[in-house]
């Protein structure tokens, strides 16, 4: 059977994503929210493959008729339209929902389809203009004017009247429109009115060996205790090292023993095994790929949301990410913006770690201006937390007068929290515990 124009476009490498089209169609068959999200923003022409256009049109027809939208009703509708065999029959309809969770989030996928559909339309208009130039039947000015007009008309209007925004603004104030997740550190939870929230990006900044990874793991343990799904991108260290620190804390085993496991006694090992059984039951996904591209990290995180119900994503740390930009500053700026967008689209709390620029004085209290390489990190973040571990200038020993500094909070106050970094357990604690 001869291929359609759109199928030839896909073969030629023009903008398209067959897997994204499959994901959106499968999600529409499984989830009412995904169905509404897709039909509110997409048209059949936004799908490249002819078979996908037919499936989408059949789904929309079912929705408009008030019938249930599911695989069996889709099959009946396609048979009624005499299109069932043309789209691939039973195997292909089954393939659409394979591996897709019951409640997927497809906002990012919908935007991909919209963007690639617009790119194909722009290419088509430009090809028509090239043909008109070569034909010579119109003046160059007439062709350019028509091309400019058509391109402007094709561009989606993202502007909204306030009447469209008001219902969502009011609804966002109601309970249940975001999830509040405690950090497990009382002082930080009080400062942030209950901890982190889904749809937020937090950045934890610190000098090397100043406890930013430890703080991240401490928050992760609070997340797991509350029963939320967690995906940790441990770019700097291996996944087994990351997990061992969790086990040590859960088991009450001093963290320094992890460096010399031969010092672990029988009781330590029993406690670690018991902690492992408990940790195994949690919704905890890890990825310890080395220098990873931001696109890969986001794709893995999105898959984790769909497969495991992940609500919190941690990234240790931003300066280890790679991207397509010309320098590290641009890579970090783009990564921060995309992590923030990911948090909003997938209803997740994202926590990203960042190094701070080195200062001449080891006891300079850090500010958000010290976030390494990019001011865009501060701009994208909802909350910035900075670790401050001062040292005695004569002995070089840590003083214990440590602080967590909330340097930015988009919807709250900022300030310093008096803490004590316990190097035995690698956790931040109240100063009062140090005096006990």
Helix (H) or strand (E) holding 416: strand 415-422
Q: Could you give the dihedral angle defined by the CA atoms of residues 6, 7, 9 and 11, in that order, rounded to the nearest 10 degrees? A: 170
Answer with the residue of higher pLDDT: 10 or 182.
182
Q: Are 405 and 366 in contact (CB under 8 A)?
A: yes
Answer with the residue of higher pLDDT: 339 or 155.
339
Rounded to the nearest 5 degrees, what angle is found at the Cα of 203, between the Cα atoms of 197 and 207?
150
Check pLDDT > 80 for residue 286: yes
Q: How far is CA 93 from CA 87, 110, 307, in A?
A: 8, 20, 20
Check pLDDT > 80 for residue 327: yes
Calculate mean pLDDT across residues 152-163.
68
Q: What is the mean pLDDT of the chain?
A: 86
pLDDT at 293: 87
- What are the residues whose beta carbons fall under 8 Å from the beta carbon of 279, sequence distance 6 or more? 224, 243, 246, 247, 250
Check pLDDT > 70 for residue 357: yes
Calculate mean pLDDT across residues 378-396.
90
pLDDT at 5: 44
Q: Which fold has domain 180-434?
A: Rossmann fold (3.40.50)
How far apart CA 74 and CA 58 sit, in angstroms, is: 7
Tally DSSP H helices, then E strands, for the chain: 17, 11
Check pLDDT > 70 for residue 10: no
Structure tokens at 408: 């930015």
Check pLDDT > 90 for residue 435: no
Lowest mean pLDDT among 24-38, 92-106, 282-296: 92-106
**64 band by pLDDT with thresholds 50, 70 and 90:** confident
Structure tokens at 20: 């994204």
Q: How far is CA 302 from CA 161, 239, 298, 316, 348, in A?
A: 31, 19, 6, 17, 10
DSSP conformation class of 282: S
Q: Are 114 and 42 in contact (CB under 8 A)?
A: yes
Specify which residues 353 forms β-bridges with.
Answer: 204
**296 band by pLDDT with thresholds 50, 70 and 90:** confident
Structure tokens at 227: 């029963």
How far apart CA 22 and CA 95 sit, in angstroms, is: 8
Strands 196-197 and 180-181, by their bridges, are: antiparallel
Answer with the residue of higher pLDDT: 247 or 405.
405
| CATH code 1.10.860.10 region(s) in the chain | 1-159
Per residue in 133-144, pLDDT (tens digit) is 998 888 999 888
Calculate mean pLDDT across residues 8-16.
55
**CB-based burial, 187-208: b 16+ in 10 Å, e otherwise:** bbbebbeebbbbbbbbbbbbbe
DSSP conformation class of 360: S
Check pLDDT > 70 for residue 68: yes
Structure tokens at 420: 């004590």
Lowest mean pLDDT among 48-52, 170-174, 233-237, 287-291: 170-174
Check pLDDT > 90 for residue 216: yes
Structure tokens at 289: 């790929």
Check pLDDT > 90 for residue 167: no
* CATH superfamily, with its number, for domain 1-159: DNAb Helicase; Chain A (1.10.860.10)
Check pLDDT > 70 for residue 378: yes
How far apart CA 296 and CA 291 sit, in angstroms, is: 10
Per residue in 223-236, pLDDT (tens digit) is 999 999 999 998 87
Is the sign of the CA dihedral 428, 432, 434, 436 positive or negative?
Answer: negative
**156 band by pLDDT with thresholds 50, 70 and 90:** low
Strands 415-422 and 427-430, by their bridges, are: antiparallel
| CATH code 3.40.50.300 region(s) in the chain | 180-434
How far apart CA 13 and CA 150 sit, in angstroms, is: 24
Flag whether the pTM goes above 0.75: no
- What are the residues whose beta carbons fall under 8 Å from the beta carbon of 69, sequence distance 6 or more? 28, 29, 32, 35, 59, 62, 63
pLDDT at 360: 64
Answer with the residue of higher pLDDT: 258 or 268.
268
């Amino acid at each position: 059977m001869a291929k359609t124009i759109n199928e030839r476009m896909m073969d030629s490498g023009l903008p398209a994503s067959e897997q994204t089209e499959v994901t959106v169609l499968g999600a529409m068959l499984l989830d009412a929210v995904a169905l509404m999200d897709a039909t509110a923003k997409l048209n059949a022409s936004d799908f490249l493959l002819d078979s996908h256009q037919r499936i989408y049109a059949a789904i929309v027809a079912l929705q408009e008729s008030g019938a249930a939208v599911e695989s069996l009703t889709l099959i009946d509708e396609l048979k009624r339209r005499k299109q069932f065999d043309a789209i691939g029959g039973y195997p292909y309809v089954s393939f659409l929902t394979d591996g897709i969770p019951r409640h997927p989030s497809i906002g990012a996928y919908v935007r991909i389809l919209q963007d690639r559909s617009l790119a194909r339309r722009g290419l088509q208009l430009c090809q028509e203009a090239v043909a008109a130039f070569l034909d010579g039947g119109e003046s160059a000015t007439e062709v350019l004017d028509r091309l400019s007009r058509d391109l402007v008309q094709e561009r989606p209007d993202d502007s909204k009247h306030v009447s469209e925004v008001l219902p969502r603004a009011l609804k966002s104030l109601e309970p249940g429109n975001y999830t509040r997740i405690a950090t497990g550190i009382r002082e930080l939870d009080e400062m942030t009115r209950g901890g982190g929230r889904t749809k937020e990006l937090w950045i934890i900044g610190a000098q090397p060996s100043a406890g930013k990874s430890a703080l991240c793991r401490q928050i992760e343990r609070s997340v797991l205790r509350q029963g939320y799904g967690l995906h940790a991108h441990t770019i700097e260290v291996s996944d087994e090292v990351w997990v061992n620190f969790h086990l040590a804390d859960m088991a009450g085993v001093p963290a320094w023993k992890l460096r010399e496991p031969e010092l672990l006694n029988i009781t330590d090992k029993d406690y670690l095994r018991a902690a492992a059984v408990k940790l195994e039951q949690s919704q905890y996904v890890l990825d310890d790929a080395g220098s990873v591209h931001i696109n890969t990290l986001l794709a893995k995180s999105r898959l984790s949301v769909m497969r495991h119900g992940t609500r919190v994503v941690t990234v240790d740390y931003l300066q280890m990410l790679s991207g397509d930009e010309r320098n590290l500053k641009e890579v970090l700026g783009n990564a921060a913006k995309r992590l923030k967008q990911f948090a909003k689209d997938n209803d997740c709390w994202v926590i990203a770690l960042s190094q701070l620029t080195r200062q001449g004085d080891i006891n300079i209290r850090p500010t958000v201006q010290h976030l390494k390489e990019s001011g865009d990190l501060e701009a994208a973040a909802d909350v910035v937390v900075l670790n401050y571990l001062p040292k005695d200038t004569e002995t070089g020993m840590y003083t214990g007068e440590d602080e967590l500094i909330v340097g930015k909070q988009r919807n709250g106050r900022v300030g310093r929290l008096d803490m004590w970094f316990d190097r035995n357990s690698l956790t931040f604690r109240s100063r009062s515990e140090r005096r006990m």
